[in-house]
Chain A
Amino acid sequence: GNSVTQMEGPVTLSEEAFLTINCTYTATGYPSLFWYVQYPGEGLQLLLKATKADDKGSNKGFEATYRKETTSFHLEKGSVQVSDSAVYFCALSTGGFKTIFGAGTRLFVKA
């Protein structure tokens, strides 16, 4: 079946450090891929998405490229801020109503 695997956290970085959160997937067909972010005490919100191979999603300085050959969708940011501290979820959808979420990766950014 479809699944998403993302790196375990927590990830702790200093402000202005480079961020990578790894995400790989298993899916039949051609899924769309998503990154959602959950700030403390809030629900998840869409950060970025990509709907086909080699697409790059970007938002708020975050980027992720849909790599079909490596079945990956790694999240990157060049310079993190304290306000980026949150839990990040990788997710996939093959259409239909059942989006599959990864377990989440908690990011702490220190000033």
Chain B
Amino acid sequence: NAGVTQTPKFQVLKTGQSMTLQCAQDMNHNSMYWYRQDPGMGLRLIYYSASEGTTDKGEVPNGYNVSRLNKREFSLRLESAAPSQTSVYFCASSPQVTHSGNTIYFGEGSWLTVV
């Protein structure tokens, strides 16, 4: 009963280092997402993938890249980490988009600190 699994759970980076957050879902969902959560700001969409083979920018894409490796996996890369990227990152998925909106299924989060 895994759902959405993301790794690592905790990471400390130095400014300028790079890293990749991995995410996989086992619910056969078409769409996947990366969000960041900051105090007082709710969740903000970084990138999403509507379906395998496509990716699109969300609200706050600067400083990030993504790869939809296959239907199950969607990774988020920080090429040169900055302190402003200190946040909690959530991977998520949804089965399909309808006119009445999505129900989104979230992973447990990755706590990233950039020093």
Contact = CB atoms under 8 A, between A and B. Distances in A.
A43 B106 contact: yes
B102 A93 contact: yes
Interface residues of A, number: 27
Contacts, number: 68
Main secondary structure on B side of the interface with A: loop
Interface of A: 4, 31-32, 34, 36, 41-46, 49, 51-52, 89, 92-99, 101-104
B103 A49 contact: yes
B70 interface: no
- Size class of the B contact interface (CB-based, 8 Å): 20 to 34
Contacts of B53: none
Given A43-B4, A89-B43, A103-B41, A98 B58 contact: yes
- Which of B33, B40, B99 has its CB near the most chain A CB atoms (within 10 A)? B99
Given A44-B43, A101-B43, A51 B100 contact: yes
Given A44-B90, A98-B58, A102-B42, A32 B100 contact: yes
Given A31-B101, A104-B42, A97 B109 contact: no
A46 B104 contact: yes
Given A44-B104, A45-B105, 14 more contacts: A42-B109, A49-B103, A52-B100, A92-B101, A95-B97, A97-B50, A97-B56, A98-B58, A98-B59, A99-B45, A99-B101, A103-B41, A103-B42, A104-B42
A98 B46 CA distance: 10
